Structure 1
């Protein structure tokens, strides 16, 4: 299940047969936080300035998000809001010059679920905007991590999004552990994925593309899961160390 956003969008996609079995995307059982605490977090907004996914700023003009977030848009239809705790007001609203998603992205298996956005205008760092470093190795299972976003607080039945940025603390579950019998995904967990788990805590609809951060580094990109915060089903993220070389290569091309 992708961790997209609005229920209407979810229903339309489901009817079109374009999504995996379950959709996810918002922070479940998290707490209010501030952009100063997570200044790398950004919301992606459509032409109507409605939130549809999250992202992480990694340089003055580059944002990392999920490939599945970008499938229905052109660059001119997307805005990125930076430096605001509230997803629909404040901060800097910047247009998108271009974006590219991974050539190996597969919407059925969700491998390589990563995209890179080039901002039309560079942004400077401040107390509310900070570029985050890409992790070069996946932390071991059990490493504390945090997920942030403006996604729904429960699966499908919560229609409205929280306006205030949410955070939830989870533990890293590496690819091998996530595919093991300890959890319930099995072979669905592939090499470009990493998981994170905490009882009754998770990302959910609307959090897609947002950051999984450990040791002050971007470790994962919110990708998919089976429902939200279900026992035995960790949240699944694109593993940043696995796609870091693609991000660096694409950054030079955009």
Structure 2
């Protein structure tokens, strides 16, 4: 167990790690998110890839377009960041036709975010000017009602495809999971607040680099954002433990107050 995992276990009783990923060369791999599938271009037009610059270097996370000026992501990604480079409208980390790259310096982290427990792990990035929507760049609807258990959900990202992978992948991947109750999830991580939702799948999970990305129900124009990728077990992405997300509906009022969305 690494030192960060040990610290979190001792202080919070939550055996989990945030999933941001220190920047390494973008190496394409033959694997997927964790036993997922590669996304086609335009399949997830709300998906954002975000490079966060801090005083200690750069890290990589995901995000979601919620309006022409706001990106929803995880607080543990944005914390300490001084600038953000955001790729939109692409399913690779190489610029391509229809993609947009924007930079900004402003983010709003939830005022009650706790880096020790990962409570309230949500943040909003404000763009300096409105982006133009097209086939490949679209906002996603935010959930206003609480996600129940046993619901089919999809999570997407460029995160590591295995615990042994050297870094994030060049290709956007996705996987289908099923939501579980917080009572079930607490069997793995201890007591969880109402702002958390967990999901699981047979040998399927998020991994480092997926943080901040979208957990959604439905697809296409019927997709609804229900969670922000937050944590996974320190036993590893392939451990079979549930992955954890900040519950979108729980933070809906804060998002609306902050962004007007």
- TM-score under structure 2 length normalisation: 0.82
Question: Which residues of structure 2 form unaligned runs of 5+?
Answer: 1-16, 25-31
Change (3 A) 1:7 1:61: closer
Instruction: Indicate the residue corresponding to 2:22 in structure 1.
Output: 6
Aligned-partner Cα distance in 2 for 1:71–1:251: 18
After TM superposition, the structure 1 = structure 2 runs for residues 85-96 of structure 1, keeping only pairs within 5 Å, are: 85-90=91-96, 91-96=99-104
Superposition deviation, residue 129 in structure 1: 0.8
Change (3 A) 1:7 1:54: closer
Deviations 1:149-194 (A, max 9, x none): 0000112x21032101000010111323322xxx42231x221100
Confirm or deny that 1:235 pairs with 2:243.
yes
Confirm or deny that 1:185 pairs with 2:189.
yes
Instruction: Indicate the residue corresponding to 1:15 in structure 2.
Output: none
Change (3 A) 1:70 1:112: same
Give the total of aligned pairs. Answer: 228
Instruction: Indicate the residue corresponding to 2:28 in structure 1.
Output: none
After TM superposition, the structure 1 = structure 2 runs for residues 210-249 of structure 1, keeping only pairs within 5 Å, are: 210-215=213-218, 216-226=223-233, 227-231=236-240, 233-249=241-257
Confirm or deny that 1:56 pairs with 2:56.
no
Aligned-partner Cα distance in 1 for 2:91–2:209: 15
Is the CA contact 2:53–2:59 (under 8 Å) kept in the aligned structure 1? Answer: no
Instruction: Indicate the residue corresponding to 2:166 in structure 1.
Output: 159
1:130 alignment partner, one of 121, 126, 138: 138
SS state of the match for residue 200, structure 1? coil
Instruction: Indicate the residue corresponding to 2:111 in structure 1.
Output: 103
Is the CA contact 2:53–2:81 (under 8 Å) kept in the aligned structure 1? Answer: no
- CA RMSD for the aligned pairs? 2.1
Aligned-partner Cα distance in 1 for 2:229–2:124: 14
Superposition deviation, residue 72 in structure 1: 2.7
